[in-house]
């Protein structure tokens, strides 16, 4: 599999952020040890959360298990070519309501933020262990939540596929091509403001501009 070189504007980042990218070609024969699996879960466990509410639930889907079959049955077409080859897929859910009623009060106003943060910690821990991780949301959320028995208090959110690089010759052309996509970002000036919304944007190249 090809490795993506860090983009010029990412070169100053610390590892594992610097070399992280969303790989799509995985070695289907690779499995994580129980120790590695546990360490990835520990990274999520130790993420910060509002009031230490820890509003995440993770489903562990290892190839050959029932949870993996449940996931694969509900993947979008675009994700069905690459997700099943990962060594493990974690599905994240957020504790969003304190009761089963649709209008029950929020469990935590920051549940979505916190689950995203736990996902980020797991993703970066994977990279620091020499693994790649690719987050995804392309699956039938209702059907998969049903298959996993997710209660009304929780919202099924995303998947995180984790694994080792695989041989592009083993996958279809479309999946292989995914690992060569340009990685692009909005400039800092589009979303970092030193004033009110939209005002005094931070220029790209701030350090050189003296601004
Ligand atoms: C919430 C979320 C949903 C995503 N859904 C998908 C998806 O369904 N399929 C996919 O191939 N990639 C998916 N991605 C990956 C993004 O496309 C990818 O992170 C983005 O293009 C930036 O590329 P990079 O991670 O290599 O920097 C998703 C990422 C996030 C965070």
Q: What pTM did the predictor assign?
A: 0.96
Q: Which of 89, 130, 135 is nearest to 116 (CA)?
A: 135
Distance of CA 17 to the CA centre of its chain: 13
- The arithmetic mean of pLDDT across residues 139-167, rounded, is 98
The pLDDT tens digits of the residues spanning 86-137 come to 999 999 999 999 999 999 999 999 999 999 999 999 999 999 999 999 999 9
CA 76 to ligand 1: nearest atom: 8
Contact between 147 and 74 under an 8 Å Cβ cutoff? The reply is: yes
Number of domains in the chain: 1
- CATH number of residue 140's parent domain: 3.40.109.10
Residue bearing the CA closest to ligand 1, atom 9: 136
191 inside domain: no
CA 23 to ligand 1: nearest atom: 26
**Which residues, judged by CB distance below 6 Å to any ligand atom, belong to the binding site of ligand 1?**
21-22, 79, 135-138, 158, 183
- The pair of structure tokens assigned to 13 is 């980042």
134 inside domain: yes
Determine the structural domain holding residue 31 and report its residue range: 20-167
47 inside domain: yes
59 inside domain: yes
């Amino acid at each position: 599999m090809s490795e993506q070189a860090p983009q010029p504007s990412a070169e100053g980042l610390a590892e594992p952020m610097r070399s992280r990218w969303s790989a799509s070609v995985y070695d289907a024969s690779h499995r994580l040890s129980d120790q590695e699996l546990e360490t990835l879960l520990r990274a999520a466990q130790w993420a910060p959360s509002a009031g230490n509410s820890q509003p995440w639930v993770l489903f562990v889907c290892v190839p050959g298990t029932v949870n993996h079959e449940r996931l694969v049955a509900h993947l979008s077409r675009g994700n069905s070519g690459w997700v099943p080859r990962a060594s493990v897929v974690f599905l994240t859910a957020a504790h969003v309501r304190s009761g089963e009623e649709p209008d029950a009060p929020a469990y935590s106003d920051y549940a979505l933020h916190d689950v995203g943060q736990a996902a980020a910690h797991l993703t970066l821990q994977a990279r620091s262990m020499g693994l790649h991780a690719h987050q995804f949301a392309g699956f039938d959320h209702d059907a998969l939540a049903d298959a996993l028995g997710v209660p009304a208090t929780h919202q099924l959110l995303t998947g995180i596929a984790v694994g080792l690089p695989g041989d592009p010759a083993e996958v279809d052309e479309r999946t292989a091509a995914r690992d060569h996509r340009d990685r692009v970002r909005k400039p800092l000036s589009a979303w970092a403001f030193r004033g009110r919304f939209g005002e005094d944007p931070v220029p790209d190249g701030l350090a050189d501009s003296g601004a």
